[in-house]
Amino acid sequence: MTGAMDELEARARAQLGHLADFGDRLAALRVRESSPDGIVTAEVDGSGALTGLWLADDAARVGETRLGEQIVATALLGAQRVFAARAALTEEFTSAFTEQLQSR
């Protein structure tokens, strides 16, 4: 019976390790996106929250309305990219975890 328990414990530890790695990879997700003209660069985290914003020295030349629109559009594009990366990580994790569960 000890062998079966050892195997069960090893499997549980491996699964917890995969889950912890997945969480770490999600937490580390960051995307930087720049506007086509390079005036705005936005960084978003794995949840799509804006974590950084950089404006070119001459950013004011486009006007405040256009600059605001570019900030929002650039941050949105960054969020879309990070959500795509998050979905790919989730799919990869789900597939690997399912294989691990089925290999009993």
CA pair distance 52, 29, nearest whole angstrom: 14
CA pair distance 87, 65, nearest whole angstrom: 33
CA pair distance 101, 27, nearest whole angstrom: 24
Length of the chain (residues): 104
CA pair distance 17, 13, nearest whole angstrom: 6
Block means of pLDDT (10 residues each) for the chain, 104 residues, are: 80 85 93 96 96 96 96 97 95 84 70
Indicate whether this model's pTM tops 0.75: yes
Right CATH number for 2-103 from 3.30.470.20, 3.40.50.300, 3.30.1310.10, 3.40.50.2300? 3.30.1310.10
